[in-house]
Amino acid sequence: MQLLQSLPMNLGLGWAVALIPLLPLATFVLLGLFGRHHFRNNAGVIGTFSLFISTLTALYIANGYFFEYGSVNGVYQKIMALQITWLEFSPGFSIDMGILLDPISVMMLVVVTFVSLMVHIYSLSYMKGEERFSTYYAFLSLFTFSMLGLVISSNIFQLYFFWELVGVSSFLLIGYYFDRPSAVAAAKKAFIVTRFADLGFLIGILILSFQAGTFDFNELIARLGTASNPAFQSATAASFMGVSALTWGLVLVFIGGAGKSAMFPLHIWLPDAMEGPTPVSALIHAATMVVAGVFLVARLFPVFSVSPAALAIVTYIGIISALFAAVIACTQTDIKRVLAYSTMSQIGFMMFALGVSGNAGESGLGFTASMFHLFTHAMFKALLFLGAGSVIHFIHSNEMQDMGGLRKLLPVTHICFLLACLAISGIPPFAGFFSKEEILLAAYTSNPAVYYIALVTSGLTAFYMFRLYFNIFWSKAVPAHAPLDHHHGEGGFPIVLPLVLLAAGSVAAGFIPFGKFVSVNGKALETELHLVFSVAPVLLALAGILLATWLYKKQNERPAAISASLGGLYKAAHRRFYIDEIYVFITKKILFNLVGKPAAWFDKNVVDGMVNGTAEATATVSEKIRGLQSGKVQQYAMFFLVAVIFLAVIFIYLWK
Amino acid sequence: MNLIYLILLPILTAAGILLVQKPAQVKVVALTGAALQLLLAILLLFAYRQERALGNLAQMLFELEYEWVPGWNINFHVGVDGISIAMILLTAFVVVAGVLVSWNVTKMTKEFYFLLILLSLGAYGFFISLDLFILFFFLEIAVLPKYLLIGIWGSGKKEYAANKLAVMLMGGSALVLVGILGLYFGGSGYTFDLLHLSSISIPRETQMICFPLLFIGFGVFTALFPFHTWVPDGHSAAPTAGSMFLAGISMKLGGYGCLRVATYVMPDAAKEYAPIVILLATIAILYGAFATMMQKDLKYINAYSSVSHCGFVLLGIGMLTQTAVTGAVLQMVSHGVMTALFFAVIGMIYERTHTRQVNEMGGLLKVMPFITTVLMIVGLCSLGLPGLSGFVAEMTVFVGSWQNPGTYHRVATIAACMSIVVTAVYILRAVGKTSMGPLPAAFANLTDAKWNEKAAAIILLAGIFAVGLAPGWLVELIRPATEVITDRLSGK
């Protein structure tokens, strides 16, 4: 438990870290209040510059943490860099605003600032000329602030605080094109579905914090993650429907995470969220916000690891989501939706990697692998989205059928996109290969069934990614009628630079000895790749790529024939297995028609009817008693007096 | 600080309004008076904090006591603790904003402002009273002007709404009066003095009769299910400032009374009846939320959502833990400011579009960015977004409720938590339909907020953010006062 010792408060460090989220917050306030009138055109530059400083600070902190002060005797410490009491419920039981530095939070600081900076730069060109340009950057800053606050949270309620803020920023950005009804609907859907999941999170927090008597992560983990602690014993002894309070709390918290991370069956908001501007999808719905659920489970991992039931749920939800989304991704034709399902599938990988992980030494490989994949995925998935953004900007459509043969027109995008596809497919030596191999290895050693499903899924991944790639860049000649934006081209420096930087990350990130820095207990985890083990996944990925080449490199009849032969299965996958329809049925038919409408009707006719009935009866009676006196006020004053006397009589009668 | 100023200032303002002639002068006098009220409330806050910092541990500060009707043992006894200060601040914020948004009232301006100020007099008096008789006296002062405000300046079914509101609130007052008399005769010592009554143990049978009378009586004001039906009709018919005062201040008179008079004075009965209070509160929370989902008129949406939100006040009181009771007071403050702003914004939209039906609106963000942004913020506050006051209040109620370990309480808490989803549904629907989507051609030339509307919105937003971003000061203010109440409940 050395891990849990927090170093003495280091105020200088604390405020340096605090600067990272506070700069985007300042940008948000500045642009939110004055952007429309004063920073119409240079909002982008302001936002980008302030985030650039944040990114540098984050890199500086990461350098210091990983290479200077973070490790004591070979163990990375959890440093409580700042802690301010925000809302005290009773002495010792409070929501604090703090900064907890440990390997995963420091890594997330780097990922979030870096990807966000790329998106800020990219948007300088992509969103240029938008009427609400400054608002866009204000929202982007709000999101970045919230996400950074989330990852450095030292307190589970603080995390919930930023969790909700992240949700609302996502709502605002998806609904950025607010006059488009589909965007408004998508924004609402994203917020409400994740809110529903947050209900679980909230109740989970109530349970866990009540059992532990604290909201503080370090304390919570120390009390609930140690078998000898009385809090642990009472949390496992108390049970409801045969399940211990601890497991209930963890599963409910996981529901919150599953909602944010678009895990089955709470994923329905993610594909629709693609209504937002594409750079937003890259930042929020691919690289950062959607991995918050994974981060949450990782943050509470020592507690999860003492509840096998909760971990099993994490594992199965993760693997089901991975496979389910991969199948759907093979049938979608909107390129952003393909990427959205791919994101869901990859997050499924991270999730089940946590589920199969143990909490010590070698058995903690899953934890390291999950974080590693989170890191590499952020690079190549952000790249895929930004690349898709270039394509969409160029061709003014999201649909594959409008694309084809773009490799010559968009050479930089083409190469970067290809690299990202190779990385996500797990082809060595690109980044995704290393992280995915670790995940597969962790699954193999702990749960073979999960391993085989994951293997199939990773083959499917290669297939659908190259289906996407060929459909965009090869397939057919550029359609003659396509409304190409030749004037725009690849969009110049602000578009090309992030693509190239992210491509460099997608190629090189795999070589980081990740286990050295991030492991379940803070000690370096030596991971080695077994060549023999890698044969099967790589061959499967290559098979997927070959199949995609055969089917999609040149336009032909084969894909149509195959989908026809698959019949119902293809149709079901194409219609996303009708999950949306099920939700619509539940909400519209059941909640609105069977709960909402009756409640409103009941209120108007029964409750209010009784009130009106009483009033009328009283009026009739008082009229009879009082003859023909007119004037409503007197009538009611009279009513008042009568009532008082009546009640007083009852009262005195009861009294005696 | 002398609490008499709180009474004197509204009286002087009201007299000033009667003395001047032109509507413009009336407005200036009213606004000056309201601004001074706010200043006084803030000064009171600082004076109170200073006194506490100096180590004054008395339960009530700045106490004054004058004999009024010696034969009946009625005294003009006033004093404040943290809860009263919070409610006084709330009142002052809402009054200034209410005066500002009413700037365009042309019909009988003088009388309108006179009634508004009279209402504030009732509220201040109520919150500082330590004698149940004068508490009741001020309660009535706060009720009567509403009947006229709705009946004269209202819209729609205003006579019906005004009558209904008057009947129900007066019915509630009647119960309160009977309850108070019961305490006077059935307690011991023939006294109306709150501090005295709360320092002795009242005979159990008196408690069992008086508690329901007082709790239901005050509960009517704060939309206790099933006595909430005046809320939707009353609010929708009232003029904007009327709705703001009604939801922002009047409903809080009830919550304050339920806590300070019913629960504090009669702890045995409070514990005995707590399951019923929790049941009714939970019903109000969920039922109000679901009923809101089906409303199409913005004022009805906010009125039903008030039923739901005030349920949290009663839930917090019913849970009887210190954190939950603190949460109840926080929710009163939060809901007061938030709902006043919500009604103010609805009024601003209605003045421009001449409709309150959400289905007839759309895309207003394009033509009135300020108003719709405020609507968005207040909506987010209502659905409990962190950083805004609603989050602080609701989370305190939830955490406090969870500390009550009974299964019944747990089920009620989980049920209440569910409202966060339903609230999100109706708020996003209301905000989405009004502000987003395509803009109807008829609304293309509408204008954004004017100075007085902006000022009103900014003042209330300041309140929402002051509680939402840094709740520490308010919780510090309230907690010692709720501790006194819960200590009595636990027999300490």
Residue A651 CA to its chain's centroid (Å): 60
Q: How far apart, in whole angstroms, are the C-alpha atoms of residue B126 and residue B84?
A: 9
Using left for φ > 0, alpha for ψ between -120 and 50, and beta otherwise, residue B355 falls in: beta
Half-sphere exposure of A407 (CA within 13 A, CB side): 14
Could you tell me where the beta strands, DSSP code E, fall in A91-238? Answer: 93-101
pLDDT the model gives residue B441: 85
pLDDT category at B287 given cuts 50, 70, 90 is confident
Q: How far apart, in whole angstroms, are the C-alpha atoms of residue A456 and residue B114?
A: 77
Question: Residue A588 has what DSSP assignment?
Answer: I
B396 close to A (CB below 8 A) = yes
Q: B326: which chain A residues are within 8 Å (Cβ-Cβ)?
A: 89
pLDDT the model gives residue A563: 79
Q: How far apart, in whole angstroms, are the C-alpha atoms of residue A119 and residue B74?
A: 70
| C-alpha torsion sign, points A605, A607, A608, A612 | positive
pLDDT the model gives residue A553: 79
Residue B66, judged by CB atoms within 10 A of its CB (0-12, 13-18, 19+), counts as exposed
pLDDT the model gives residue A1: 33
Size of interface A-B (CB pairs under 8 A): 164
- Cross-strand pairs, A84: A97
Interface test with A, best of B160, B425, B482 (most A CBs within 10 A): B425
- Cross-strand pairs, A94: A88
Residue of B nearest to A210 (CA): B403
* Non-local CB neighbours of A37 within 8 Å, separated by 6+ positions: none
pLDDT the model gives residue A3: 37
pLDDT the model gives residue A7: 45
Residue B372 · residue B364 · CB < 8 Å:
yes
Other residues' Cβ atoms within 10 Å of the Cβ of residue A84: 14
Whether pLDDT at B349 is above 70: yes
pLDDT the model gives residue A310: 92
pLDDT the model gives residue A120: 94
Residue of A nearest to B182 (CA): A651
How far are the Cα atoms of A579, B52, B215, B256 from residue B218, in angstroms, in the given order? 47, 30, 5, 8
Instruction: Return the amino acid letter for B73.
Output: N
* Per-residue model confidence as pLDDT tens digits over B161-211: 888 888 888 889 989 999 998 888 887 778 888 988 888 888 888 889 899
Interface test with A, best of B334, B374, B395, B467 (most A CBs within 10 A): B395
> Token pair 């010559």 is at which residue?
A408
Residue B84 · residue B127 · CB < 8 Å:
yes
To the nearest whole Å, the CA of B435 is away from the closest chain A CA by 8
Here the tokens at position B258 are: 């339920």
Whether pLDDT at B328 is above 70: yes
* Per-residue model confidence as pLDDT tens digits over B132-145: 999 999 998 888 88
pLDDT the model gives residue A199: 93
Q: Of B171, B230, B475, which has the smallest distance from its Cβ to A643's Cβ?
A: B171
Here the ipTM equals: 0.92
- Cross-strand pairs, A90: A93
B420 close to A (CB below 8 A) = yes
B418 close to A (CB below 8 A) = yes
Instruction: Return the amino acid letter for A112.
Output: V
B213 close to A (CB below 8 A) = yes
Average pLDDT over residues B435-455: 86
Element (H, E) at B434: helix B407-435
Q: B425: which chain A residues are within 8 Å (Cβ-Cβ)?
A: 192
Whether pLDDT at B160 is above 90: no
Q: How close are the terminal C-alpha atoms of chain A, in Å?
A: 68
To the nearest whole Å, the CA of B120 is away from the closest chain A CA by 22
Question: Residue B315 has what DSSP assignment?
Answer: H
To the nearest whole Å, the CA of A528 is away from the closest chain B CA by 44
Where chain A has pLDDT below 70, the residues are 1-11, 478-489, 529, 611, 614-656
pLDDT the model gives residue B364: 87
Residue A156 CA to its chain's centroid (Å): 17
Q: How far apart, in whole angstroms, are the C-alpha atoms of residue B140 and residue A136?
A: 51
Q: How close are the terminal C-alpha atoms of chain B, in Å?
A: 31
B365 close to A (CB below 8 A) = yes
Query: What's the whole-number average pLDDT of chain B?
Result: 90
Q: How far apart, in whole angstroms, are the C-alpha atoms of residue A66 and residue A57?
A: 14
Residue A186 · residue A174 · CB < 8 Å:
yes
Residue B62 · residue B40 · CB < 8 Å:
no
How far are the Cα atoms of B326, B356, B362, B435, B448 from residue B302, in angstroms, in the given order? 24, 11, 18, 16, 22
Element (H, E) at A87: strand A79-90
**Contact: A161, B439; criterion CB under 8 Å:** no
B436 close to A (CB below 8 A) = yes
Using left for φ > 0, alpha for ψ between -120 and 50, and beta otherwise, residue A578 falls in: left
Interface test with B, best of A89, A621, A645 (most B CBs within 10 A): A89
Q: Of A157, A612, A644, which has the smallest distance from its Cβ to B177's Cβ?
A: A644
DSSP B118-182: HHHHHHHHHHHB-BHHHHHHHHHHHHHHHHHHHHHH--SSHHHHHHHHHHHHHHHHHHHHHHHHH
Domains of chain B, by residue range, sit at: 4-489
The model's pTM is 0.91
Average pLDDT over residues B30-58: 93
To the nearest whole Å, the CA of B169 is away from the closest chain A CA by 10
Whether pLDDT at B46 is above 60: yes
- Note the residue count of chain A: 656
To the nearest whole Å, the CA of B361 is away from the closest chain A CA by 12
DSSP B203-269: PHHHHHHHHHHHHHHHHHHTT-TTS-THHHHHHHHS-HHHHHHIIIIIHHHHHHHIIIIIIHH-HHH
Q: A168: which chain B residues are within 8 Å (Cβ-Cβ)?
A: 380, 385
Q: How far apart, in whole angstroms, are the C-alpha atoms of residue A51 and residue A145?
A: 10
Residue A493, judged by CB atoms within 10 A of its CB (0-12, 13-18, 19+), counts as exposed
